[in-house]
Structure 1
Amino acid sequence: MRTIDFQNQFKKVRRASKRRSIQLIISISFTIVSIVSMTFVTLALYTTYINKARETAIENNKQVIDQMSWTLNSYLRNMMGVSNSMYYGVIKNLDLTSDSMNREMDILYEANKDDLISIACISQDGALISAAPIATRKSGVDFTEQEWFTSTEEKIENFHFSKPHVQNMFESSNYRYYWVVSLSRSVDLNYMGYTRRGILLVDMNYSSIEQMFSRVNEKGSGYVYLIDSDGDIIYHPKQKAIYGGLMQENNITAASYDDGSHMENFDGSERAVVVKTIGYTGWKIVSVVPASELSAPYNQLRAFMMIIFTVTIFLIVFGNIVISKIVTDPIRQLEDSLKSIEEGSLDAEKVYIGGSHEIRHLGRTIRSLVVQMRDLMDERVKEQKEKRKSELNALQAQINPHFLYNTLDSVVWMIEAEKYPEAISMITSLASLFRISLSKGNNIITIRDEITHAKNYLAIQKVRYKNKFEANIDVDPAIEDCVTIKLIIQPLIENAIYHAVGDLDDEGVIDIKGYEKDGDVYLEVRDNGMGIPPDVLAGLLTEKTKSKGKGSGIGLWNINQRINLYFKNDYGLSITSELDEGTVATIRMPKMTMEEYMGGEGNEK
């Protein structure tokens, strides 16, 4: 059932598509092309812009990392400078057998105490030589077991930076211990010309590094963290959560990255990673920006572009409709003017001429064709009118001899019977008949004149038939001024007399009626004769029967032909008959006064 419904809907769509107008085709075509083009251009521009924006954001992060690297480098160089100053400016110039470095170490600490937690010098065997600001080691602390000490012992030629840790090796009066990053190096200690190896320890304040990264992480998108060469985290904005196992970081993988930008998928999300290595420490500054945050600042731009795209599409659709209307309106007006021609109007002035040059030329061509068609049709109508007039005159010429023959036959009969008064009366009636028959050459007369003509004819026939039949005339006065073709009732009366009541003995009746029905005029001649057999009745109005029967035999066919020719096939003569009952001949014509006929309405019909 659904398949049938779908097929029906598809057929409806196909039928509708066949009826589509030029305006619809132009509007839809231009709109589709415009929308596709706009969509392609918009997507291309948007993709290019987003990619460029991502590149710009990554480049900005690189600049931030570079700035951070420079700041951290400056800080570390400062700490290394403190270590160098202590070593080369103090320790190398002292003989520790008799000299002390406490004063110089205190001075150096005071000068850099904002970034330092402590400075200490430890001998190779773990003895504390000097420290600032506190020179008392906590009981139970073995320097040789500290990570910074063992690292320095393993590689004595470099500076060594430890992981962040709490420095709690020295006694503190307020019991406050700080997070530090220890910078340690191997130094030569002088004892009366003998050199012994020791370790110089500079504990950098971890909060200084923390503040550097915190300031950076408060700005921009994503976050920045610091790792050592092994990937161990030195600083992370969510360091406690990581140590607590609440979140993870891809720090081990980041340690293997070369300096520069990288795209990685971690923990189910894509993100951009920028890496910068601090050369002499091996530390790496890592900037992480989720891909979603790279494009987040451009969500508003995306919404704005969608609004612009929607408004532009609306303007394109509206513009296409307006332009297509401007283009197709002249064609539509030309089509409308052609519809009036299709309906039969040949008024060339109604043919639209406007629009573009091509449409104006087409309109002028059609107007010229309409003028030619109208001239040809006028000539054709004129020819038809002349032909119809000739046919009517020929039919009229058939009637006059026919009637004259019958009447003169009756006059001859009366003269032979020496009935001169009756013959004179008949000739007088005949003269009156011919006067109406001539009608100054007009084939159209009023019904009143046609009834007068019928009365004169009946007067003649009653004399001939010695009043063997009765004739009754009943015509509605409202139609007496309406027009009719002359000499159409007389042949019907003639047929009723010859073929119906003429042979009856004082029982024949002929009723003549005239009335209006449904806006038409009806003239009816009824007799009470023997009726007409069906096989004869069927051919009475055809040309084949015009020579059969008594008299000339052309009356009925003649009447029907003349009415058809003049008033077209909608009107004419009809015959009904029943055996032993009688016959009814009915004429149907349009109701029209002589004034209307003279005004030309009759010709239109």
Structure 2
Amino acid sequence: MKHFKRIQFIIAFSFILITVVTVLIVSFMLYNKFSNTAEDNADLNMGQVVEQVKYNLEMYVKNMTSIFDVVEETINRSPSYSSSILEEQLNSIMKTREDLISIAVFTKNGDLVVNIPKMEMRPYTLLQRQSWFNAALETPDQLSVSSPHIQNLFKTSYKWAVSLSKQTTYHRDGLASKGVLVVDMNFKTIDELSRQVVFGKRGYVYIIDSYGNIVYHPQQQLIHAGLKYEDLERVLTYSYGSYQDELNGEQRMITIKSVNPIGWKVIGVAYKDELLTTKSELNTFLLWFLIVVIIFVLLLAIFVSARISSPIQRLARSVKMMGEGHLNTPIPVSGIYEVEQLSRRYHVMLQQIRHLMDQIIVEQEAKRKSELDVLQAQINPHFLYNTLNSVIRLVEKGQSSEAVTAITSLSRFFRISLSKGKNFISVQEELEHIRHYLIIQTIRYKNKFHYTIEAEDEVLHFLTMKLILQPIVENAIVHGIELMADRGMIRISAKVDAGKLLFEIADNGLGMSRDALDQLLKNTPNSAQGSGVGVRNVNQRIQLHYGPDYGIQFESEIEEGTTVRIYLPVEIAQKEGEV
């Protein structure tokens, strides 16, 4: 499991994970966007193509209608259907269009009046059963367009035709009569307009009339044979629009347009699986794109993580060796800028630690025999340990001036503490001692408090028992100020009061209850509550040497702070004595 915690693995894995997730999200968004766009474009393209077919048919029907109107007007104006002029005019009209098959006028009973070109009618044509004939009789004022059918009126080759029919007026010897005019147009033109339209490999266009009869279908023979089916009932419910259906398990897109004015419908059919071919190609592209990106990111992540982790791992191995006591282990200084700077600063810090440790070892060894008892009784080893840790942190942070200040104050603190074996020092030295202690503590507690030290000039040369202020001040810091939310304040003063030397230590800390004050100077030791030789030790030392009239007094209020007063006799420095 430790391999998964290494920085190289974490960097590489994070790099790949973020990239893969990003690529997947982007690929998913692109796939949906392209898929929807492809489908929308296919639908739009179908609509445009079907619209074009519908427009072409409308134009063709319009032309057919115009020709029909010309033929009808020509017949209506002719004084006799049998005149040679009429025949010549109709022949001229026939020559203008290649898709005209025939022009004929029949009586309402179905008898032939005139036809161009001149051809003999087939017997048994049953004209009254022809849809175009009945439509003209039923709607005499409306032009009817028939579905494609075999032209079987005259003895000529059979052709697929579309018949335009309408009741008309013709003249015979100046007399007007009502009949049915029919113009047959070759269906080949409509077939060509529709057959050239395809959607993909299998899509097509087909046409139905307003009654649902198929006008054109590219697979008409299959339709008539019952081998292919079109849902004409649903198509008839649409004039314009599009929808999707399913035929034989295949999804199809259907687009419908109506041809005006004849009511035909142009229906475009496209198969979605051909559209999905584009999606499949897109899927393949995105898959390969993802694989290539992962390989590239993997190689890049391995390279970058190795560049970052290798110097850090070398530095970690060196630190581990030093942690095992090999302080002379060389520190590798290489790698990226940040790692190189870290190595250099760690190297500087290690040199300073070595120097400090050597200095402390020398000092301690030199004074060990003569002052061991004093140090064991008066110095809290935790103070030295915490001070050194604070110095190490200062060095690590590059705060060399603060570190020098702390080390200087620590040195002077010990020098005054030892005092060449003397137990009594001047008030000035004791205040200097506590000043260096406060300097160290302000650095350790990151300026959580500030302090003032004041003394009357006359008391500076008085004698005092040494190391009596440090335990009191330490107690104020640890139990009064350290847990405060606001910045603390410690005031230290020395003066003469009622003929006694008075040291006053006041703080604005958390304060103590009455029960805590009653327990504070009892003889039961409590190392967890004390600091250094402790408050009780100081009070006991004073009273043992000077008597019960001297010692420590406390005043304290919860959340207000604590004031400690130490009373000593007035003694001039020239009269110092030993305990």
Fold-level similarity (TM above 0.5) = yes
Structure 1 counterpart SS, 2:5:
coil
| 2:25 aligned partner, one-letter code | F
Match of 1:162 in 2: 146
Q: Identify if the C-alpha distance between structure 1 residues 329 and 156 changes in structure 2 by more than 3 Å, giving closer, same or farther.
A: farther
| 1:119 aligned partner, one-letter code | I
Structure 1 counterpart SS, 2:102:
strand
Match of 1:512 in 2: none
Structure with the bigger RCO (C-alpha within 8 Å, sep 6+) is: 2
Which residue among 246, 255, 260 is the counterpart of 1:279? 260
* Alpha-carbon RMSD: 3.2
**Whole-angstrom CA distance in 1 between matches of 2:286 and 2:95:** 59
Which residue among 287, 293, 305 is the counterpart of 1:306? 287
Q: Indicate if the aligned counterparts of 2:199 and 2:269 stay in contact, CA closer than 8 A.
A: no
Q: Identify if the C-alpha distance between structure 1 residues 88 and 268 changes in structure 2 by more than 3 Å, giving closer, same or farther.
A: same
| 2:137 aligned partner, one-letter code | E
Match of 2:185 in 1: 204
1:29 correspondence with 2:29: no
Match of 2:218 in 1: 237
Match of 1:453 in 2: none
Match of 2:45 in 1: 60
Structure 1 counterpart SS, 2:299:
helix
Match of 2:312 in 1: 331
The 5 Å alignment of 1:192-591 reads 194-217=175-198, 222-297=203-278, 299-342=280-323, 344-352=325-333, 354-357=335-338, 360-361=341-342, 364-365=345-346, 368-369=349-350, 372=353, 376=357
Match of 1:103 in 2: 88
Q: Identify if the C-alpha distance between structure 1 residues 37 and 219 changes in structure 2 by more than 3 Å, giving closer, same or farther.
A: closer
Runs (5+) with no aligned partner, structure 2: 369-579
Match of 1:145 in 2: 129
Q: Identify if the C-alpha distance between structure 1 residues 368 and 87 changes in structure 2 by more than 3 Å, giving closer, same or farther.
A: same
| 2:258 aligned partner, one-letter code | T
Q: Indicate if the aligned counterparts of 1:250 and 1:266 stay in contact, CA closer than 8 A.
A: no
Q: Identify if the C-alpha distance between structure 1 residues 159 and 360 changes in structure 2 by more than 3 Å, giving closer, same or farther.
A: same
**Whole-angstrom CA distance in 1 between matches of 2:326 and 2:339:** 24
| 1:151 aligned partner, one-letter code | A
The 5 Å alignment of 1:46-85 reads 46-85=31-70
Q: Indicate if the aligned counterparts of 2:200 and 2:274 stay in contact, CA closer than 8 A.
A: no
Match of 1:120 in 2: 104
| 1:205 aligned partner, one-letter code | N
**Whole-angstrom CA distance in 2 between matches of 1:125 and 1:22:** 102
Cα deviation, 1:449-500, whole Å, max 9, x if unaligned, reads: xxxxxxxxxxxxxxxxxxxxxxxxxxxxxxxxxxxxxxxxxxxxxxxxxxxx
| 2:28 aligned partner, one-letter code | L
| 1:135 aligned partner, one-letter code | M
Q: Identify if the C-alpha distance between structure 1 residues 239 and 280 changes in structure 2 by more than 3 Å, giving closer, same or farther.
A: same
| 1:250 aligned partner, one-letter code | D
Q: Indicate if the aligned counterparts of 2:121 and 2:153 stay in contact, CA closer than 8 A.
A: yes
Matched positions, count: 368
Cα deviation, 1:348-375, whole Å, max 9, x if unaligned, reads: 5334454343662365226623762587
| 1:323 aligned partner, one-letter code | V
**Whole-angstrom CA distance in 2 between matches of 1:258 and 1:168:** 33
Cα deviation, 1:16-46, whole Å, max 9, x if unaligned, reads: 2675311211221221121111111111122
Match of 2:570 in 1: none
**Cα drift, residue 218 of structure 1:** 8.3
Q: Identify if the C-alpha distance between structure 1 residues 304 and 18 changes in structure 2 by more than 3 Å, giving closer, same or farther.
A: closer
**Cα drift, residue 146 of structure 1:** 0.7
Q: Indicate if the aligned counterparts of 2:239 and 2:265 stay in contact, CA closer than 8 A.
A: no
Q: Indicate if the aligned counterparts of 1:331 and 1:359 stay in contact, CA closer than 8 A.
A: no
TM-score (norm 1): 0.55
Structure 2 counterpart SS, 1:229:
coil
Cα deviation, 1:198-235, whole Å, max 9, x if unaligned, reads: 11111111122112212223877721111112222111
Which residue among 136, 141, 154 is the counterpart of 2:120? 136
**Whole-angstrom CA distance in 2 between matches of 1:221 and 1:59:** 18
Q: Indicate if the aligned counterparts of 1:94 and 1:100 stay in contact, CA closer than 8 A.
A: no
**Cα drift, residue 124 of structure 1:** 0.9
Which residue among 87, 94, 97 is the counterpart of 2:79? 94
Structure 1 counterpart SS, 2:178:
strand
Runs (5+) with no aligned partner, structure 1: 1-15, 388-605
| 2:108 aligned partner, one-letter code | Q
1:45 correspondence with 2:16: no
Q: Identify if the C-alpha distance between structure 1 residues 197 and 286 changes in structure 2 by more than 3 Å, giving closer, same or farther.
A: same
1:179 correspondence with 2:160: yes
**Whole-angstrom CA distance in 1 between matches of 2:226 and 2:37:** 37
| 2:12 aligned partner, one-letter code | S
**Whole-angstrom CA distance in 2 between matches of 1:331 and 1:134:** 107
Q: Identify if the C-alpha distance between structure 1 residues 213 and 98 changes in structure 2 by more than 3 Å, giving closer, same or farther.
A: closer
**Whole-angstrom CA distance in 1 between matches of 2:72 and 2:294:** 75
Structure 2 counterpart SS, 1:171:
coil
Structure 2 counterpart SS, 1:271:
strand
Q: Indicate if the aligned counterparts of 1:180 and 1:205 stay in contact, CA closer than 8 A.
A: yes
**Whole-angstrom CA distance in 2 between matches of 1:381 and 1:195:** 146
| 1:157 aligned partner, one-letter code | D
**Cα drift, residue 192 of structure 1:** 5.2
| 1:122 aligned partner, one-letter code | F
